[in-house]
Structure 1
């Protein structure tokens, strides 16, 4: 099996993203910086790099900052998955502009997941992994403790599929993805259930 943590193996970066997409709740750099720092720490990401065409040891790390996101588009690192395997990972910001919230997406590419053996597709017309969902929910919960946010969604390519205003504080009755929804008593995790 090839190495899911290798940066230069471009198949690791292919196939889309299994992600924790966080609606920050603000467009201020300080707010997205707080979420970026918290998620990188909560996930235990190793390193912060700009390029995927060279291994971490062959490039200088970049600061894990909004400025780096703005300059490079994505930030990359390696993360220990819940199965104990090291894999490539990344983060990207989707800036909302003046009239909406920014999003920060933390992801493991499905190309790398393929090499870990973590199942995420069973023939249904969508991807889902209970192992990845629960792990990303834990990352999101720890992130929220350090940097509160408006909404988190978990699954394959989930960024922008809904927003906090649309949900209005309520989980959908049927969930094809996972949700991290702030409530007065804390963060509510609604796991995918259909």
Structure 2
């Protein structure tokens, strides 16, 4: 098995991505910074780097900040997956979406998942990994404790598939993705079920 944590191996960054997309609920830099910092901490991301074509030891780290996201588009690091494999990961922001809110997407690319041995496709017309769903739900739950947000969605390239306003406080009965939905009593995790 090749190394899923190698930055320079382009195949690690290929094939799409499995993500936790968080609707921040604000467009203020301080709000997205709080979520970004909480995600990096909750996921246990090692390092914060600008470039995917240089190994972490071959580049200077950049601040884990909104300014770095703005300057570089994506922030990259390495994360220990639930299977115990170290893999590349990344985060990016979508500022001022159609709903008037910023989004922060944290993801592990499919190429790295393949090399780490985490299955996410079984021939059906969609990708799903219970291992990744549960792990990302845990990350999102910890983030919410530090930096409350409007909505989290979990799954294969899920950013932008819905928003908090469209859900109006309720989970769909049939869910092709996972949801982290704030409620009065706390954060509700609705796992994918179809």
TM range (shorter): over 0.9
- What TM-score comes out, normalization by structure 1 length? 0.99
Deviation at 1:141, TM superposition (A): 0.1
Aligned partner of 1:91 in structure 2 is 91
2:128 aligned with 1:161, yes or no? no
Q: RMSD between aligned alpha carbons?
A: 0.9
Q: Could you tell which deviates more after superposition, 95-104 or 107-116?
A: 95-104
Whole-angstrom CA distance in 2 between matches of 1:92 and 1:99: 18
SS at structure 2 position matched to 1:141? helix
Deviation at 1:99, TM superposition (A): 6.0
- What TM-score comes out, normalization by structure 2 length? 0.99
- Which aligned runs of 4 or more in structure 1 are off by greater than 3 angstroms? none
2:36 aligned with 1:36, yes or no? yes
Whole-angstrom CA distance in 1 between matches of 2:145 and 2:171: 20
CA spacing shift, 1:112–1:97, aligned 2, 3 Å: closer
2:120 aligned with 1:120, yes or no? yes
Between the two proteins, the alignment pairs up a number of residues equal to 194
Deviation at 1:96, TM superposition (A): 1.3
Deviation at 1:65, TM superposition (A): 0.1
Deviation at 1:168, TM superposition (A): 0.4
SS at structure 2 position matched to 1:93? strand
State the Cα deviation string for residues 103-131 of structure 1 (Å, max 9, x = none).
00000000100101111000000000000
State the Cα deviation string for residues 26-50 of structure 1 (Å, max 9, x = none).
0000000000000000000000000
Aligned partner of 1:139 in structure 2 is 139
SS at structure 1 position matched to 2:37? helix
Name structure 1 gaps, 5 residues minimum. none
Whole-angstrom CA distance in 2 between matches of 1:55 and 1:102: 30
2:53 aligned with 1:46, yes or no? no
Name structure 2 gaps, 5 residues minimum. none
Deviation at 1:97, TM superposition (A): 5.7
Whole-angstrom CA distance in 1 between matches of 2:16 and 2:160: 15
